[in-house]
Structure 1
């Protein structure tokens, strides 16, 4: 099996970085977590803070055994698979091995590709730049919409109609526009209490 085939089958994956830290946003904010950031993304968010992740060809390819072995070196057993856009890859083999080794599996995704993998928590953050794949709506446990423009409030409501009723709804100010939009997000959540406010607490605390 060549590298292209092994990536297609999800047994090897391009990894931009992997690190043990504190989850800074969303439902698991404050939890120690091991992040696996996969390389590759074609969503093209203008405000993306990891644009270097977009080109998958820049990053080394690792077997899922190596990826999981490195995660096991740390005491925490919460893993967050992120990117880039992680659903560009078949995440079934990776999550199966993580589960076998006792990890809780979370994903952060734009939902732009068909859903794959066995995840305990799915954070779905849709983007206007690439339409989500329909498979994400039944899987999402958390809908997190980044507010960069005033129109993102209506964008959030549109997606809230499509996720399951148990899905948690969060609005998060884009970091560079937090001063402008945080008051509006607070007012929106107070008016529509099904929504919660999410902040990038790791940036306030300067946690990588």
Structure 2
């Protein structure tokens, strides 16, 4: 098993349920979803001309679209080598669920790490049972992909980007499709930190007993 890695870096989780927790971020390359507001568009394509050696994606900004192919064994060995103090692995992208994450999450869980996947929900989620799955549903995007029921059902957390009332209506429609007994954490995330969107999210969080995901890392100006 091999994974196309855009970057590996350690910081604080700035969004959702684990906000403020130290984490190692593993950003995988490749995403066909096509979100207009995406701030990591450089991760959309695995351009052969931008393939680099493994050490060139460690602790550096991946904003140029560079990526490296990592075998599972090498990736686990690097993450568990002792150079990171965090024990939270956030697997993001790009779209990480393009790939089977079961071998990686099983290995990291056995090593004593908590894994978290951040996904659009447009692909089946393949991971071990202990992994925290954050689905940030991306509907009506350029890629024309639909939200997968399996991804929603597997979600521990639904983190929904919001700009308008229509987004709230769309979220409620998605939540209505969940099976009885499903109780994921619901967090609203204002798109681009817009004041109007933030106000709407705060109002809806209070009205529905949801959480606010304020992208704290952007306010703190950290990676």
TM-score (norm 2): 0.83
Residues 151-189 of structure 1: per-residue CA shift (max 9 Å, x gap): 1111111122233532111111012x5212111111122
Equivalent residue number for residue 185 of structure 1: 201
Equivalent residue number for residue 166 of structure 2: 151
In the TM superposition, 1:110-129 aligns within 5 A as: 110-118=120-128, 119-128=130-139, 129=141
Q: Is the 8 A contact 1:35 1:82 kept in 2?
A: yes
Offset at 1:148? 2.8
Equivalent residue number for residue 69 of structure 2: 61
In 2: Cα distance, 1:20 partner to 1:82 partner: 13
Q: Is the 8 A contact 1:78 1:106 kept in 2?
A: yes
Instruction: Choose the corresponding residue for 2:108, options 98, 101, 108.
Output: 98
Equivalent residue number for residue 215 of structure 2: 200
Offset at 1:95? 1.2
Equivalent residue number for residue 109 of structure 1: 119
Q: Is the 8 A contact 2:76 2:107 kept in 1?
A: yes
- How many residue pairs get matched? 196
Q: Is the 8 A contact 1:143 1:160 kept in 2?
A: no
* 5+ long unaligned stretches in structure 1: 1-10
In 2: Cα distance, 1:140 partner to 1:86 partner: 14
Please, what is the CA RMSD of the aligned residues?
A: 1.4
Equivalent residue number for residue 8 of structure 2: 18
The secondary structure found in structure 2 opposite 1:19 is strand
**Distance change >3 Å, CA 60–CA 19, structure 1 → 2:** same
The secondary structure found in structure 1 opposite 2:194 is helix
Equivalent residue number for residue 185 of structure 2: 168
TM-score (norm 1): 0.89
In 2: Cα distance, 1:170 partner to 1:200 partner: 11
Q: Does 1:140 align with 2:140?
A: no
The secondary structure found in structure 2 opposite 1:69 is helix
Equivalent residue number for residue 3 of structure 1: none
Offset at 1:86? 0.5
